[in-house]
Structure 1
Amino acid sequence: MKSFPAALLSIILCCALIARAASAEQETTAAGRDRTLSQLSGTIVDTSGALMAGATVQVRSANGTVQSTTRSDKNGVFLLPGLPAGTYRIVVSKPEFETKEIPITLATTGTLAPLRVSLAVSPVTTTINVQGREDDLTGIADSATQGTVGAKEIQDRPILRSGEILETIPGVIITQHAGGGKANQYFLRGFNLDHGTDFATFIDDMPLNLPSHAHGEGYSDMNTVVPEFVKRVNYEKGPYYADVGNYGSAGSAHLEFFKTLPRNFVQVEGGMYGYGRAVFGFSQKLGPGNLLYGGEAYHDDGPWAHADNYYKFNGLSTYSQGDDADGFSVTGRGYHGRWNSSDQIAANAVPLVGLFGTLNPTDGGNSQRYSLQGEWHRQGAYSETRVTAYGFYYDLDLFSDFTYYLTDPVRGDQFEQHDRRWVAGLDAHHTIFSQWFGRKVENTFGLQVRNDWIHNGLYQSQNRMRVDKTDSSTGNTLPATTEEDRFTDTQPGFYVENKVQWASKFRSVVGMRGDVDYFNVTSLVNAANSGAAIKALPSPKASLTFGPWASTEFYAQAGFSFHSNDGRGATQNVEPISADNPAPNTPTSPIPALIPTKGGEVGVRTTAIPHLQSTVSLWYLHSASELQQSGDTGDTVASQQSSGRYGFEWANYYTPFEHVAFDLDLASSKALFSTLDGDDAAPGSPGGRRVPEAVGLVISSGVTVHNDHGLSASLRLRYFGPRDLTSDGIYRSQATALLNGEANYRFNEKWRISAELLNLPNRRDHDIDYAYTSQITPTAAPAFTDIFHPVEPIQVRFALRRSF
C-alpha cells in the first residue's frame, strides 16, 4: 500500500505534463492568432504633481489574482509588458498614501495610452487590499508578526483537517488527540493552548472561542469552517493589539469570508479510510446586493481499529450590499457533527490493542452550532465606523476516557461533558482621522460586549450512560453527576487606540483596554458553589515603528492581556466528588476570574531582497498563573505560580518566478515556571521549572507552483520538536515530522482534478503526547507512562471540481 498512492500521484502528474506538452504549441498559436500581448505603462504622481518613486503597481485579473507586479522608478514611471487582451484592475499603492484601483480593458487591437495616476495622502495607515503573504506590508503592519494569508495560499495547501487552515500562520501547530469532531489542540509561542485558551479566533468578527466551556476554557472548534469560503486569514501575535481582548495573549486569527465568490463551484472528494466530501458554493446578484450560499457534507473513518465514523454538515448563506467603503451584510451559518473517538492511548497498551486501537470503543460525541450575524460599515474622508452584532446556539455532548480503569476497575473511567448555551454579542468601533500640529492621527474607540447563557455539566458514564461509580482507592461512591450548573458569563470590554505618524520614518500606536468578567452561577449539585464573581482588568499596549530604510522597518512593542477562567471555578467553595477528590465536603478556594499576561517584542520586516518578504522577531511573555478549572475533573489543575516564555521567529515568503513560491517559517520558544513545580513531575521527583507540553521548535516549509499552464502543485514539511511532558524533563515526547503533497490540473476554465498525499514517508509519529498515571485493564497495575495519539498513516485523496 505504500507505493500505491505514490503511483497514482505519478500517473496524474505524467498525464498533466503530457497534456501540457500536447497543448503548448496550440496555445502558442492561439495566442498569436487570437490575443495581442500589450504593454501597459504610466506615471505615478502625488496630488501636487510631484513624481513618485517606489509606488507598487499590481495588475489583477477579474477574480483578484495578481498577474504582474512592479514599482515606479525614480521618475515615477512604470512599465508592465506582455499582458494579453482582457479585463483587469490596476492597483497602485504606497505607504502614507491612499490606494487607487483603476479598471482597464486591453483590446486585441490598438495600444492603451500611458496612464497618469495621482495618489492622495492617506490617514496614518494606508488601506491596501492585501491578498496574501506576497503583498508588501512595509509601512502598513504594526509588528513583524502581523500578516495576512490569502485564499490562494489556503487552497494550494494539502490539509488533513479544516483546523489546519490556522497552520498557515507561522509558528502555529494544530493537532488532534481524539475523534475528528472534537476541537483541535493548538500550540504557539511556548504554549500548549489546549483547545484555544490563549489564542483568539474570529469568524468575520464573531468570536469562535467559548468561555467556561464544559471541556476546556476558550474551546475553539474549527470544524465549523469550510476552507473554500475563507477569503483571507489576518493574524497577529502577542498582547499588543487593543481590539483583541480575551484569549489574545499568544496571538489571534481573524478569518474573513467571501461575500461574493470569484467563481461558483461544485467539488466532490474521495479517498482512503472512508473519506468522502462534497462542497458547493454559489454567489449571484439579488436585487441591489449579492447572495452567497454554500454547504459541505463530510465523512471520515480514519485508520482507527474502531472507525471514527465522523459525519459533519456545514451550511452558510450571506446577503451583502455595497463595497468596502459603505455597505452591510447578514450571514447565517449552521454546523452539525457526530463521531466516535479513538482517544489517546497509553504506550503500554499498544501491544494489547495496536497503534491505532482504542481502550474504550464507546468514546465519542456530537456537536452543533447555529449562528446569525449582521455587519454594517461606513468610511469617509474623516471617519470610519463598523458594527457587528451576532447571536448563536451551541450544543456539545462529549464522552472521553483518559485513565481507563484507574478509578473504577468494574465500570471504567469514562466521563461525559455536556455544554449547551445561547450567546449574544456586539463588536463596534469608530475611528476619527485628523491631524495634530500637522501630523496625521487616527483615534479609535471600540466597544465589545458578549453574554453567554450556559448550562453545562460533568458526569460519570459507562458506555455513554450516566452511572454511579466506586472509587478504587477509598471505596467511596462517586455520584453519576459530578457537577451541573446554570450560569451567565458576561464580558464587556472597551478600548481606545491612538495612532500618530510623528515623522516620515516614525509612527506609534498606543492603546488601552478595560475588560470586565461577571459570573452568576447556580450550582444544581451543591448550593455552596452558587454565587457571583466579578473581575475588572486594565490592559495598556504600545507599538513603535521605525523606518522604512532600504525597504526595511523596525518594531518595538509591549503590552498586557489576559484570559478568562471557567466561571464555575470562580465561585467554587467545595470540591466536587470525583476521582481526584472522592471525599465529600472538601473545602477549596475560588480561582481568579481573569489571569493577566504581559509581554514585549522587537522585530524587523524587510523586502530589501527582490521578491522576498522576510521578518524576524524576539519576544517574551509572562503569565501570572497557569491555574485553571478542569472541565475533565471538576477541580482546579495546573500550577499557581507564574511562568515566563520567550523565543524567536523567522518567517520568509519568496516568489522568484511568476508561478513559483517558496516559504520557510521557523519558530523556537522556551517555557519556564518561576519556581519548582511538583504537581506535574514524574513520580518520586521533586519537580522542575519546565512547563509540561510547551511547544519548542516549529518548522513549516514548502514550495508551491501556481497554475503553470494549468498545473499546480505543493509539497510541504510540518515539524515540531520534542516537548517536556513533566516539569522535571524526565519524560519527553519525540519530534513529529510530516511531509504532505498536493497536485491539481485545470483542464479548462470549468474542470479541475486534484490529488493530495498525506504523510508521504508514512511516519509513525505522535500527534500529541502526555505523561500521567493510567491503568489499561481491570487487573493491570497502574503505570505512569507516555500517553499519545498517533498521526494518521500515508493516504491519498482525490477531488474533482466544476466551476461556473
Structure 2
Amino acid sequence: MKLLIVIISCFLTMAAQARQTIRGKVIDKLTKEPLELAYVHWSNAHQGITTNEQGFFSLTYPTTTDAAAAKLIISFVGYETQEINVEPNTEKLVIALQKGAVNLQEVVITPQSTANSFHTISKIDLNLMPARSAQDILRTVPGLFIGQHQGGGKAEQIFLRGFDIDHGTDINVSVDGLPVNMVSHAHGQGYADLHFLIPELTASVDYGKGPYYTQYGNLGTAGYVSMNTLNSLDKSTVKLEGGQFNTFRGLAMIDLLDERLKEKGTNAYVASELLYSDGPFDAPQHFNRFNLFGKFNTQLGRNNKLTLILSTLNSDWDASGQVPERAVKSGLIGRFGSIDDTEGGYTSRTNASVRLTSYLDDHSSWENQLYYSRYQFKLYSNFTFFLNDPVNGDQIRQAEARDIYGFHSKFTHALQAGDWHITSAYGAGFRLDKTHNSELSNTLNKNTVLEYKQLGNVSELNAFAWVEERFQKDRWLFNIGVRTDYFNFDYTDKLTTPSLPAQRKAIFSPRLNIQYTLNDKNQLYFKAGKGFHSNDARVVVFNRGYEILPAAYGADLGILVKPLPGLLVNVAAWYLYLQQEFVYVGDEGIVEPSGKTRRTGLDVSGRYQINKWLFADANFNIAKPRSMDTPKGESYIPLAPTFTSTGGLSWQLQQGFNGSIRYRYMKDRPANEDKSVIASGYTVTDISFNYTQKKYEVGIAVENLFNVKWNETQFDTESRLKDEPAPVSEIHFTPGVPFFARVKLAVFF
C-alpha cells in the first residue's frame, strides 16, 4: 500500500511539473521597449514560442528527465542570444536583449509568425545602403522603385507591383503613425513626400503588398509602407558629407539625457539636417533642405509609455524638368539641359504627435495617438513648353496650404480558449484635411500669374473603424479583418459661385489571411482582401459623387521557406483587380478615369547569410498589368513596370570595415496604350565603403558606379518647342544621376 501511495505521489508530482509554466517579458536593453516576435525555447526542445505585441510569453516547463539541466534560450534577429537558468513557475521574468550582429540562423518560422513578420528591414540594411533622403529608403522595399523628375525637393514617382503609382495614389505611407500621403493634393492624389524624415533616424521599415492589412485604409491597394523612428540614440553623432555637384550635408543627432534616466525608460534626443546640392544639371538646382526633429518618450508608472514628437521641414529648389528626346538628339540641349529652367518649388511641413501606450496586463494593450501637421507647397512646372501658349509658354503653378488633424486608437487583447490562441485588435479614428487656396494657375517665370484655372478650399474627412481577429491552433493561423471608412468631401470654389454641395460615401473592406506552417522551415499562406483609393475631392464634388471610392480586390498565394540555416526565401503569386484607376493630368488640374484594370504577377525575394559578416539578397518582381476596358493590343497601362529586380551584397567585418554593393534593374516598358512608344529600362549600381570605430566613422558612397546613361523618369508627352510649327508627341525624360561620389566623416560621443 505504501508503495502504491509513493507511485501515485510521483505521478502527481510529474503531472504538476508538466503544468508548471514560465511567464516573462522580452525587452530592448537600451530602450526598455517590448520586443515582439522574439523566439523563446528550451535548450532541450526544438520548438518554442514567440513573444506577443507586448513582449510577453508563457512557456510550459519541460517535463523530460533532464528538465533541471534545461536552459531558457531567447533570440531575436539583430540582438545577442541569451541563455538563462529559470526555476519552474517563475513569474514576471524580464529579459533584456542587447543589440548585436545579424544572424539569419536565428530566424525560426513558427505558427505564430507570419510571412509579413520577416518584412521589417533591419537597421543593418538601412545603415549600409546609400540614401540621399528618407524617400530613398522606400527602395529597401523589394520591388519598389522611385524616380525623381523635377528637382530634389519634390516627392518622387513610385512604382510597385505593376503600378505607376504617380506620387502615392496606390500606396499607403506613414511615419510613426503620421500619414505621409496628402489626399486631394494640388499636384496629385496621395502625394507622399517623405523628405521631412532624416534617414539616419529610421529604426525600421515595415511593409506589406496588396490590400490585405486591416489597419491601412485609403490608398493601400498596391500595399503599404510604415516607417518608425528611433526611440533612443545609442550615441550622439555629428556627421559631415561632401560630394560632386556642390553637394554638402551636415547632420547632428544629440542625446539629451543621462544614463540614469535612460535606465528608467526615459529617452530624449534632437536631430537636425542641412543639405545643399546643385545636382548634375546645366542649370544648378540650388536645392536646400533643412530638417529639425525631436523625440521624447518616458514611462508613466509601470504600465504606460508616453511618446512626444515634434519636427519641421523647409525645402526649396530649382529644376530643369522633363526634356524631349528630340531636343537632345538635335543638339539643342544636352542630356542635363533644360527647355524651361525656371521650374522648381518650395515645401514645408511641421508635425506634432502625442502617443500614449498602456499595457493593461500581460495580454492587453491600448494605444492612442493624436497628431497635427501644418503643410505648405508650391510647385512650378512646364510639361508642354509652348503647346498651349506660343507666346508666354505653358508654365503652371500648383500651390496649397494645409492643416491635418488626426487621431487613432487601437486596443489589443490576447487569450487562450482551449487549444486556440486568439488575439483581437480593435481600432478607430479620424483624419481631417483642411486645405486652403489650393491653386492651379498659368504663370510666367514664376512671378507673374497669367490666369487662375483652379482656386479653392478643400475639406476632406475620413473617419474609420476596424476589427481584426487572429486565431491560431497548432499549425494553422486564421486572420480575419473588417474595416469601414466614411468620407465627407467638400470643396469651396473661389472662381465660381455658388459652390456645389458636399459629397459623402462609406466603404466596407473585408480581409482574410490563412497560413499553414508545415514545420520550422516551410510555411504556406493565402491572402485575400478588398481595398480602395479615394478620388480627389474636387473631382468628387464636380462629378456629384460619381466614382468616389473605387474598390480593389486582391489575392496572394505564397510560401515562406528556409532551405538552409542562413537562407530565407519568400515566393508569392498575386492578383489585383481595380474598379477604376486614376491618371492625374497636372497641367489641366483634372483626374482622368482610365477604367477597370487587372494585374497578375510573381514576387520572389531571398536573403542569404554567406558567413558571419557577408550577406546577399535578391528580389525579382514580374507583373502583367492590363486595362480591361480597351481592345486587345491597346490595353497596356502606360509606364507600369513589368519586370524589376534589386539585390546586392552587404558586409560588416569585426575590424570595423562595412559596406554594400547594390543594383536595381527595370525592364523596358510601354509608355502608351498600344506599346508603340517604349520607356527604356536601366540597370544602376551603387556602392558604399565605411570604416567604423567606437568614436568615429569615415566612408565613401558612389551612386551609379559604372556611369551608365539612364532615364530616371519618362513620359509620352505632346509638346511644342519655341520655333516648332506643330506639336510632337514623344518620350520626355529626366536623366538619372551620373557617377556621383560622396565622402563622409562622422564623430560619435
1:714-758 CA-partner distances (Å, limit 9, x unpaired): 100111111111111111111111001000112x31011000011
Q: Does 2:365 align with 1:352?
A: no
Q: 1:760 aligned to 705, 708, 724, which one?
A: 705
The answer (yes or no) to whether the contact 1:416–1:459 under 8 Å persists in 2 is yes
Give the match's secondary structure for 2:242.
Answer: strand
What residue is the counterpart of 1:593 in the other structure? 548
Q: 1:196 to 1:102 in 2, by over 3 A?
A: farther
* Aligned mates of 2:114, 2:689 — CA distance in 1: 36
* Aligned mates of 2:666, 2:525 — CA distance in 1: 27
1:399-453 CA-partner distances (Å, limit 9, x unpaired): 0000001001100000000011111001111112223444221111101200011
Q: 1:205 to 1:732 in 2, by over 3 A?
A: same
- For 1:795, the aligned partner's letter is F
* Aligned mates of 1:167, 1:259 — CA distance in 2: 23
Give the match's secondary structure for 1:212.
Answer: coil
Q: 1:215 aligned to 156, 180, 187, which one?
A: 187
What residue is the counterpart of 1:667 in the other structure? 621
Q: 1:338 to 1:385 in 2, by over 3 A?
A: same
- For 2:636, the aligned partner's letter is R
- For 1:620, the aligned partner's letter is Y
1:747-804 CA-partner distances (Å, limit 9, x unpaired): x310110000110110111101111211122434311111111101001100000011
Q: 2:44 aligned to 75, 78, 92, which one?
A: 75
* Aligned mates of 1:752, 1:334 — CA distance in 2: 27
Q: Does 2:670 align with 1:743?
A: no
- For 2:668, the aligned partner's letter is P
- For 1:512, the aligned partner's letter is V
What residue is the counterpart of 1:432 in the other structure? 413
Q: 2:630 aligned to 650, 654, 676, which one?
A: 676
Q: 1:196 aligned to 168, 178, 181, which one?
A: 168
* Aligned mates of 1:210, 1:416 — CA distance in 2: 18
The answer (yes or no) to whether the contact 2:40–2:51 under 8 Å persists in 1 is no
Q: 1:254 to 1:121 in 2, by over 3 A?
A: farther
Correspondences of 1:556-571 after superposition (within 5 Å): 556-571=526-541
The answer (yes or no) to whether the contact 1:668–1:698 under 8 Å persists in 2 is yes
Q: 1:602 aligned to 551, 554, 557, which one?
A: 557
What residue is the counterpart of 2:12 in the other structure? none
What is the CA-CA distance between 1:629 and the residue it aligns to? 5.5
Percent identity among equivalent residues? 25
What residue is the counterpart of 1:342 in the other structure? 320
Q: Does 2:404 align with 1:404?
A: no
Q: Does 2:412 align with 1:458?
A: no
Structure 2, unpaired ranges of 5+: 1-14, 59-70, 75-81
Give the match's secondary structure for 1:149.
Answer: coil
Identify the range of structure 1 (404-413 vs 440-449) with the bigger mean alpha-carbon deviation. 440-449
The answer (yes or no) to whether the contact 2:50–2:113 under 8 Å persists in 1 is no
Q: 1:373 aligned to 353, 365, 369, which one?
A: 353
Q: Does 2:239 align with 1:267?
A: yes
Q: 1:423 aligned to 379, 394, 404, which one?
A: 404
* Aligned mates of 1:93, 1:314 — CA distance in 2: 42
1:178-222 CA-partner distances (Å, limit 9, x unpaired): 110000110000100100111111110111100000000000001
Q: 1:736 to 1:260 in 2, by over 3 A?
A: same
Q: Does 2:523 align with 1:553?
A: yes
Q: 1:792 to 1:252 in 2, by over 3 A?
A: same
* Aligned mates of 2:297, 2:39 — CA distance in 1: 33
What residue is the counterpart of 2:178 in the other structure? 206
- For 1:292, the aligned partner's letter is Y
* Aligned mates of 2:100, 2:468 — CA distance in 1: 22
- For 2:694, the aligned partner's letter is E
1:56-80 CA-partner distances (Å, limit 9, x unpaired): xx9999799x9xx9997872499xx
What is the CA-CA distance between 1:465 and the residue it aligns to? 2.6
Q: 1:511 aligned to 476, 481, 487, which one?
A: 481
1:236-262 CA-partner distances (Å, limit 9, x unpaired): 111111101011111111111111112
The answer (yes or no) to whether the contact 1:132–1:153 under 8 Å persists in 2 is no
What residue is the counterpart of 1:173 in the other structure? 145
* Aligned mates of 2:512, 2:288 — CA distance in 1: 45
* Aligned mates of 1:203, 1:554 — CA distance in 2: 30
What residue is the counterpart of 2:62 in the other structure? none
The answer (yes or no) to whether the contact 2:601–2:623 under 8 Å persists in 1 is yes
What residue is the counterpart of 1:308 in the other structure? 285
The answer (yes or no) to whether the contact 1:49–1:118 under 8 Å persists in 2 is no
Correspondences of 1:89-128 after superposition (within 5 Å): 94=50, 98=56, 115-116=85-86
TM-score (norm: length of structure 1): 0.81
* Aligned mates of 2:554, 2:689 — CA distance in 1: 41
What residue is the counterpart of 1:11 in the other structure? none
Q: 1:51 to 1:344 in 2, by over 3 A?
A: farther
The answer (yes or no) to whether the contact 2:527–2:556 under 8 Å persists in 1 is yes
What residue is the counterpart of 1:658 in the other structure? 612
Structure 1, unpaired ranges of 5+: 1-45, 53-57, 79-91, 105-111, 469-479, 574-588, 678-685
Correspondences of 1:48-63 after superposition (within 5 Å): none
* Aligned mates of 2:117, 2:49 — CA distance in 1: 22
What residue is the counterpart of 2:664 in the other structure? 718
The answer (yes or no) to whether the contact 1:99–1:119 under 8 Å persists in 2 is no
What is the CA-CA distance between 1:623 and the residue it aligns to? 0.6
* Aligned mates of 2:349, 2:323 — CA distance in 1: 29
* Aligned mates of 1:131, 1:458 — CA distance in 2: 52
* Aligned mates of 1:63, 1:636 — CA distance in 2: 46
What is the CA-CA distance between 1:325 and the residue it aligns to? 6.2
Give the match's secondary structure for 2:326.
Answer: helix
The answer (yes or no) to whether the contact 1:137–1:147 under 8 Å persists in 2 is no
Identify the range of structure 1 (434-443 vs 241-250) with the bigger mean alpha-carbon deviation. 434-443
Correspondences of 1:9-88 after superposition (within 5 Å): 75-76=44-45
What residue is the counterpart of 1:330 in the other structure? 308
- For 1:298, the aligned partner's letter is L
The answer (yes or no) to whether the contact 1:566–1:629 under 8 Å persists in 2 is no
Give the match's secondary structure for 2:400.
Answer: strand
The answer (yes or no) to whether the contact 2:278–2:286 under 8 Å persists in 1 is yes
* Aligned mates of 1:175, 1:51 — CA distance in 2: 57
* Aligned mates of 2:402, 2:597 — CA distance in 1: 32
* Aligned mates of 1:62, 1:128 — CA distance in 2: 7
RMSD: 3.3
* Aligned mates of 1:270, 1:119 — CA distance in 2: 58
Q: 1:184 to 1:51 in 2, by over 3 A?
A: farther
Q: 1:70 to 1:542 in 2, by over 3 A?
A: closer
What is the CA-CA distance between 1:707 and the residue it aligns to? 3.5
The answer (yes or no) to whether the contact 2:207–2:225 under 8 Å persists in 1 is yes
* Aligned mates of 1:320, 1:597 — CA distance in 2: 38
The answer (yes or no) to whether the contact 1:392–1:424 under 8 Å persists in 2 is yes
* Aligned mates of 2:88, 2:199 — CA distance in 1: 38
- For 1:793, the aligned partner's letter is P
- For 2:348, the aligned partner's letter is Q
* Aligned mates of 1:59, 1:389 — CA distance in 2: 25
Report how many residues are paired.
Answer: 691
1:310-358 CA-partner distances (Å, limit 9, x unpaired): 0000011111102996311111010000000111111111121110011
Q: 1:133 to 1:180 in 2, by over 3 A?
A: farther
What is the CA-CA distance between 1:130 and the residue it aligns to? 12
* Aligned mates of 2:270, 2:471 — CA distance in 1: 41
The answer (yes or no) to whether the contact 2:454–2:589 under 8 Å persists in 1 is yes
What residue is the counterpart of 1:295 in the other structure? 272
Q: 1:137 to 1:633 in 2, by over 3 A?
A: farther
1:573-607 CA-partner distances (Å, limit 9, x unpaired): 5xxxxxxxxxxxxxxx7642212111001111122
* Aligned mates of 1:660, 1:325 — CA distance in 2: 40
Q: 1:154 to 1:661 in 2, by over 3 A?
A: same
Q: 1:99 to 1:309 in 2, by over 3 A?
A: farther
What residue is the counterpart of 2:738 in the other structure? 793
Give the match's secondary structure for 1:699.
Answer: strand
1:270-325 CA-partner distances (Å, limit 9, x unpaired): 00001100011122327662211111000111100111110000011111102996
1:134-161 CA-partner distances (Å, limit 9, x unpaired): 4556444444696101222111012344
What is the CA-CA distance between 1:638 and the residue it aligns to? 4.3
Q: Does 2:674 align with 1:728?
A: yes
The answer (yes or no) to whether the contact 1:260–1:284 under 8 Å persists in 2 is no
